[in-house]
Chain A
Amino acid sequence: MLLRLENIAKFYGERPVIRGASLELAAGRTLLLTGGNGAGKTTLLKIMAGLIRPDSGRLTLELAEGEQVGYLGHRTCIYPELSGLENLFFWARLHGLKPGRAALLELMERLGLLPFADERAGIYSRGMAQRLNLARVLLFRPALLLLDEPATGLDTRSRQTLEEEIARAGKAGAGIVWISHRPEEDAAMADEVALLENGRLSLRPAKAAA
C-alpha cells in the first residue's frame, strides 16, 4: 500500500479538525477528497504529505528509493523574476535531478509553455503559471501526487491540460489524492471519493458519488 492513514487526529488549539481519519491508497489509484469549506481537507492533505504532524494516529508512506511526493496547490510556487525555464531548473536540481535543457523544454512544450520558456515567469497568466507549477511536479515523476484545488481560477485550456496530466500520472502508476473545487465534474476521473465532514472521513466508490 502506497499510503495508509490510521486513525489520524489533528487539533487546532483545542478545536478538533480531524477526528480519526483512516484510509488506504494504492499506487495508480485516484482518490477525490471532498468536504465543505473549512472541513480540514487541506490539513489532511498536508498530513499525507508529511508537512503537518498529526496529534495522534499513524501515517505510513511506502516509497521506494528515489520516489518522491509531489504537492500541487492553488498557489503557483513560481519565482516571478526567473524565467520559466530557470524556475524548472531550480526545482529540478533541488529534487536531485540533473535534467538537460532539452528535456525541460520538451516538458514545457507538452504543457504549451514552450514559446514562453525564456520569458520572466512574472508575466505569465495564472493559467500559464499554474502549468509551470504542474511542470515542476511532473519533473520528478512523483509516486504520490497531492492536489489541493490546483484548477481554481484556471482557464478552460489550462484546466484541460491539468486534467490530462493528472490522468496520465495516474496511468503511469502514481497514487493521487485530489481536492477539487468542483467535485461533481471531477468525480468521473476518480476511483474513489472520500467525504470529510465534522472531522470524520467516509469513503465510497466514485460511481455512486457521480
Chain B
Amino acid sequence: MPRISPLALMALLGGLLMAASHPVILLYAPLEEQMGIIQKIFYLHLPLAWWGLFSFFLVFIASLLFLIRRDYFWDTLAEAGAEAGLVLAALTLVTGMIWARVSWNTWWTWDPRLSTTLILSFIYAGYMLTRGLDFSRERRALISAALGIVAFLDVPLVFFSAKLWPQTMHPQVVTGPKAGGLEPEMKLTLFFCLAAFGVFWAALLILRCRLGLAANRLEGLRARLALKENTPKEQDHG
C-alpha cells in the first residue's frame, strides 16, 4: 500500500472542510436582518483577508530569519508566503467588491480595509516582480528579504492613512467599538470557516514551499553535473 503523505492528507482535509463550510454558511448561520443573504459572503471574505494578512506576516518573519541565518529555506518560505498572500488578497478584493456592489451599489469605494488590501496587493506584486529579476540568487534573496521587511512595517501606516482618508462606512463586524453584534451561531460559522481556510492555506503554502525547495535542489544537481562534465579527472566532488 502506498504511503499517504501528510501533505495530501492536509489538502484532503482542507478541501473537505471548505466544502463543508458551504452548508454551514448557507444553512446553519442565521440570516443577517439588514444586509440579508449577501452578508454570508463575509464568511469567505474575512478568512481570506485574515490568512492573506497572515501570509504577509509570514513573509516578514521569514525575511528576518533569512537575514539572520542566511539559510535559503527562509527565502523560499518568504516567496511561498508572498505568492499565497497575493492570491488570498486578490480573492479578498473580489469578495469585497461583490459585497460592496450589493450593499452600497458600487463596485469600489474608499474603505480603509479594502483600500489597505488593494495597496498591499500592489506592494507584494512589486515584491514578486523584484523576485523575478535577473539577480544572482544571493542578491535576490537579500533584496527580497529587505523588501519583505519594509513592506510589512509599512502596513500599519497604510492602514492608518487609509482610515484617516475621507470615506464611507464599512460594517465593523468583529472588532471595534460596535463589536458584539454577532450572533453565537454566526461566530461559530466564522471560526469554522477560518479553520477550514487555514488548513487549505497551510497545505497550499507547504506545497509551494516544497516546490521551491525542489527547484533549488534541481539547480544544485544540474550545477554539480555541469561541474562533473567540465572536470573529468577530478576525484572528490562533494
Contact = CB atoms under 8 A, between A and B. Distances in A.
Instruction: Indicate whether A and B are direct neighbours in the complex (CB within 8 Å).
Output: yes
A171 to B, nearest CB: 38
A13 B136 contact: yes
B231 A198 contact: yes
A19 B227 CA distance: 12
Contact of B137 (A13, A19, A198): A13
Contacts of B222: 14
A15 interface: yes
Contacts of A19: 238
B220 interface: yes
Contacts of B227: 15-16, 198
Interface in B192-222: 216-217, 219-222
A67 to B, nearest CB: 29
Contact of A198 (B220, B226, B234): B234
A12 B220 CA distance: 10
A14 B231 contact: no
B231 A13 contact: no
Interface residues of A, number: 7
Interface in A4-37: 12-16, 19
B101 interface: no
B129 interface: no
Contact of B136 (A12, A16, A198): A12
A198 B237 CA distance: 10
B223 A13 contact: yes
B224 interface: yes
A202 to B, nearest CB: 13
A14 B216 contact: yes
A16 to B, nearest CB: 7
Nearest to B142: A53
A19 B238 CA distance: 10
Interface in A63-98: none
A15 B221 CA distance: 9
A14 B231 CA distance: 17
B224 A14 contact: yes
B219 to A, nearest CB: 5
Interface string A128-162: 00000000000000000000000000000000000
B219 A14 contact: yes
A19 B224 CA distance: 13
Nearest to B219: A14
A13 B137 CA distance: 5
Contacts of A15: 223, 226-227
Contacts of B238: 16, 19
Contacts of B217: 14
B72 to A, nearest CB: 9
A198 B234 CA distance: 9
Contacts of B216: 14
Contacts of A16: 223, 227, 238
A191 to B, nearest CB: 29
A15 B231 CA distance: 14
Nearest to A55: B70
A12 B222 CA distance: 13
17 contacts: A12-B136, A12-B138, A13-B136, A13-B137, A13-B219, A13-B220, A14-B216, A14-B219, A14-B221, A14-B222, A14-B223, A16-B227, A16-B238, A19-B238, A198-B227, A198-B231, A198-B234
Q: Which 6 A-B pairs have the closest CB atoms?
A: A14-B220, A15-B223, A13-B137, A14-B223, A14-B219, A198-B231
Given A14-B219, A16-B227, 14 more contacts: A12-B136, A12-B137, A13-B136, A13-B137, A13-B220, A14-B216, A14-B217, A14-B222, A14-B223, A15-B227, A16-B223, A16-B238, A19-B238, A198-B231
